[in-house]
Amino acid sequence: MTTAAGTPTDRSVLPVTERYTLLGWLRRNLFSDLFNSLLTIVAVASIFIVARLILRWAFNTAEWGVIPANFNLIMRGQYPAIEAWRLWLVIYLLGTTVGLVWRLIVGQFNTTARILVAIPLVLMLIPFFSMGTRLYLMITAVASFAGYFIAGYLPIQHRGRAASYFVMAYLVVMLILLRGAGADDGPMPPVQPILWGGLLLSLLLAFFGITLSFPLGVLLALGRQSKLPAIRVMSVIYIEFIRGVPLISLLFMGQIMLQLFLPDGFPLVDRVLRALVAITLFSAAYTAENVRGGLQSIPRGQYEAAQAVGLSTYQSTIHIILPQALRAVIPVLVGQFISLFKDTTLVALVGIFDLLGIARTIIANPDWLGTQQEVFAVIAVLFWIFSYTMSFASRRLERRLGVGQR
Amino acid sequence: MQNIHASQVRPPFYRDERVLGVFSQILVVVIVLGLGLFFFNNMITGLREKHSVAITFSFLTQTAGFDIGESLIEYSRERTYLRAFVVGLLNTFQVAVLGIIFATALGILIGVMRLSTNFLVSKIAAVYIDIFRNIPLLVLLIFWAQGVFLKLPRVADAIVLADAFYLSNRGVAIPWGLPTDSWGTYLIVLAAGFIAGAVLAYFLREHGKRTGRMPLVTLWFIVTVAAVGLIGWIVLPQPMTLDVPTLEGFNTQGGKILSQQFMALLSGLIIYTAAFIAEVVRAGIQSVSKGQREAATALGLTAAQTLRLIIFPQALRVIIPPLTSQYLNLTKNSSLAIAIGYPDLFAVAGNTILNQTGREIEMFTMIMGTYLSLSLLTSFLMNIYNRRIRLVER
């Protein structure tokens, strides 16, 4: 057997020179027998063909002009250009908040922190960026540094609690900045959510989808595990119903029917909010199933011990069971976040201009006819970068928590 | 002073767990029912203003009046809405079944490649998995439809493979069997072959149980059916002729044309789901502990026997549950057909019919009911299968 994990070559048997040389490595991993050598040749040939196809397309056929010309659209959709400073402020504050929280929780300026700070600096190298954009990116990096150093001088007792307050404050400020307030000709005129778009909207939908669905999902998971039959049955029905239908049907239903359910004269709910409601309800069912996995992994002894020391059901759930159950499913929840991030593309089908929706408007523009391949390639790469980074981070987290070891 | 026994001390009713349990259940039920009634009432009031009858399915027997691009059963715009719904349902079935078959095959291939001792082969599989698991399916589908299949040459300049497959921006024309007069007889012969194979398999299994040496029952079954099928094919005067498409002017003639939308949807679903199935397969094979393989080798089993008798049955037990959920995902994901214009259940019912009739509640009930029963049916069947192969412990 050469495939499916055959017996590995015992390293200690090989002569020293073959153990560590390139030739030895090649022989072990690529040419151990005839079949393996044939596989290697086929693999090299297919890599060559695919790589040539892609490189030829990227350097000869593709018309990349469409990307710089529509870059702002891809990033922020129809968000008014004159209000773009608010988005930058949101990004600076994000940098500062990350810096603050990093100091409070991680406490040291390690490799991951360096990579995080490097991101805006590396983005400065993108060739078609204007000098202004580069300056703003530089300010972002400086802001995150500032956050990190300021946090060192703050007289803070409970670091964890302070960090969560900072994050919550940031979220409130961010929403106020994005949404705007006051008169239309004031300093910060309101911007309707339907104008938010592109990458901005994709990230916001995913973030708020998962944050809002999390408490609901935990409640549903507890409900499904509950000893009380009425609560259990209702939780099971909800979870199985949502998991049995496609997200797209829920999104359409949200767009068409949400307004029907509300009383006459109720103000029209924004399109984006309607989509967010559908995404949240959808995601909650999946969160519930993931959390249930964690709840089931808690040994019975924990429940019994909690009862023995006189904790009520509520107390033991909050202080004993949930903390352990949630820690066990962190990697699964990250996985769910990634798939939710990918699933937000579906809102493009109900007339919302997220990253994919914006891509569809760009290729429909007569100026950029026939650029489907270029635009979709860039969109796919953007999604890929975000999802892959998250799954990479979750794998490292998994190793640190030792979840897979048990 | 009265002596009070510990057993006599009862907590006040507001701290009694049983009372609290009943009370909280009643509270939750009342809240949920109340909200439900509130929504339902609002909905009925709203619908009364729009339609004469709030909820009715009678519109299903009215004439549809719209065309559907492709259909497995006979359909025209004079048929009813119900017929259109069934057309969409069958299209969903078609894409789901074909997608599941091909995605499983590709997924197993890539999953096994991922475990190969060959460095390059394993890395190619890893790159495939990492790329396609991290791109949204919808982006992949639209890219595939608009960036690949739509960019193929016109029919007149179609890409021809092996003189039989024509790839153009209208779809793919493939050779297709045309049944002749003797096709009916041949089907009977095939059925007889199946029965003969099943009888043979039964006796072989009984023989194996008696002697303790189990023959290759499945192999013998397949050989029997194939032999009967082959003999029938030779004896009968050509039960089926092969219809190869040809290029005539601006169109292909003959064969079967798989539309551009169908091909884009199918290939997108296969490529995406295969990446997930590959991970399921890899995890399943890796879950079989090393000792099992070593024990099998120590007992003198060959590599093929080890795989068939030791590794596979145990890996399957780990693979089946997540594989089921991947199949369900594929079926539900086929509803994204609406983005590329393939007339599946959701596109026909949730878009066209709904827009024409304005019957939201009825259509969504039918769509969600259909998907829900599909899901529940699949999980039910898979649970039965799962129970059959699960570990029997003392």
* Per-residue buried b or exposed e for A16-32, using 16+ beta carbons within 10 Å of the residue's own CB: eeeeeeeebeebbbbbb
Contacts of B146 in chain A (CB under 8 A): 363, 372, 376
- A43 and B CB contact within 8 Å: yes
Residues B40 and B95 reside in one and the same domain: no
CATH code of B360's domain: 1.10.3720.10
Work out the burial of residue B9: count CB atoms within 10 Å of its CB; fewer than 13 is exposed, 13-18 middle, 19 or more buried. exposed
Contacts of B364 in chain A (CB under 8 A): 249, 252-253, 257
Digit-coded pLDDT (tens) for B316-367: 888 888 888 899 899 999 999 999 889 989 998 888 888 888 888 888 889 9
Residues B283 and B345 reside in one and the same domain: yes
pLDDT score of A404? 45
Residues B126 and B37 reside in one and the same domain: no
Name the minimum distance, in Å, from the CA of B156 to any CA of chain A: 20
- A267 and B CB contact within 8 Å: no
State whether B124 and A47 contact (CB < 8 Å). yes
A244: part of which helix (H) or strand (E)? helix A229-244
- A379 and B CB contact within 8 Å: yes
The closest CB to that of B115, out of A4, A252, A261, belongs to A4
Cα A387-A392-A396 angle, rounded to 5 deg: 145
Q: What is the ipTM of this complex?
A: 0.85
pLDDT score of A3? 40
Residues B20 and B134 reside in one and the same domain: no
Residues B149 and B276 reside in one and the same domain: yes
| Most confidently modeled range among A265-269, B97-101, B237-241, B388-392 | B97-101
**Of B183, B168, B180, nearest to B245 (Cα)?**
B168
State whether A29 and B117 contact (CB < 8 Å). yes
The closest CB to that of A391, out of B124, B134, B350, belongs to B134
Name the minimum distance, in Å, from the CA of A302 to any CA of chain B: 19
State whether B371 and A262 contact (CB < 8 Å). no
Contact A340, A283 (CB under 8 A): yes
State whether A380 and B307 contact (CB < 8 Å). no
pLDDT score of B185? 81
Rg of chain B in Å (alpha carbons): 29
Residues A236/A239/A245/A248 CA torsion (nearest 10 deg):
160
Neighbour tally for A237: CB within 10 Å: 10
**Which of B388-393's residues contact partners 24+ apart within 8 Å by CB, and which partners?**
B389/B313, B389/B316, B389/B317, B389/B320, B390/B317, B391/B317
pLDDT above 70: residue A15: no
Of A245 and B61, more confident: A245
Most B CBs within 10 Å, among A238, A252, A395, to test the B interface:
A252
Contacts of B372 in chain A (CB under 8 A): 241, 244-245
Rounded Cα gap, residues A214 and A290, in angstroms: 11
State whether B135 and A343 contact (CB < 8 Å). no
Contacts of B311 in chain A (CB under 8 A): 4
pLDDT score of A5? 43
Name the minimum distance, in Å, from the CA of B66 to any CA of chain A: 21
Locate the domains of chain A by residue range.
15-61, 81-190, 197-406
State whether A356 and B46 contact (CB < 8 Å). no
pLDDT above 60: residue B1: no
Question: Is B165 strand, coil or helix?
Answer: strand
Does the residue B121 lie in any domain?
A: yes
State whether A228 and B24 contact (CB < 8 Å). yes
Domain of B25 in residue numbering reads as: 6-50
Partners of A198 in the β-ladder: A354
Nearest-Cα residue of chain B relative to residue A259: B43
Question: Is A349 strand, coil or helix?
Answer: helix
Residues B12 and B95 reside in one and the same domain: no
Protein fold of A197-406:
MetI-like fold (1.10.3720)
Digit-coded pLDDT (tens) for B90-133: 999 999 999 999 999 999 999 988 988 888 889 999 999 999 99
Chain mean pLDDT for chain A: 84
- A84 and B CB contact within 8 Å: no
- A234 and B CB contact within 8 Å: yes
* Per-residue buried b or exposed e for A336-375, using 16+ beta carbons within 10 Å of the residue's own CB: bbbbbbbbbbbbbbbebbbbbbbbbbbbeeeebeebbbbb
State whether A376 and B139 contact (CB < 8 Å). yes
The closest CB to that of B138, out of A8, A229, A345, belongs to A345
pLDDT above 90: residue B277: yes
Copy the structure tokens of residue A105: 């929780």
pLDDT score of A2? 40
The closest CB to that of B346, out of A29, A249, A363, belongs to A249
Residues A41/A43/A46/A47 CA torsion (nearest 10 deg):
-110
State whether A383 and B134 contact (CB < 8 Å). yes
A window 141-180, beta carbon within 8 A of B: none
B277: left (phi over 0), alpha (psi -120 to 50) or beta: alpha
Contacts of B375 in chain A (CB under 8 A): 243-245
Nearest-Cα residue of chain B relative to residue A364: B146
- Band (A152; pLDDT cuts 50, 70, 90): confident
Domain count, chain B: 2
- Find the range with the poorest average confidence among A102-106, A113-117, B16-20, B80-84: B16-20
Digit-coded pLDDT (tens) for B262-274: 999 999 999 999 9
Question: Is B376 strand, coil or helix?
Answer: helix
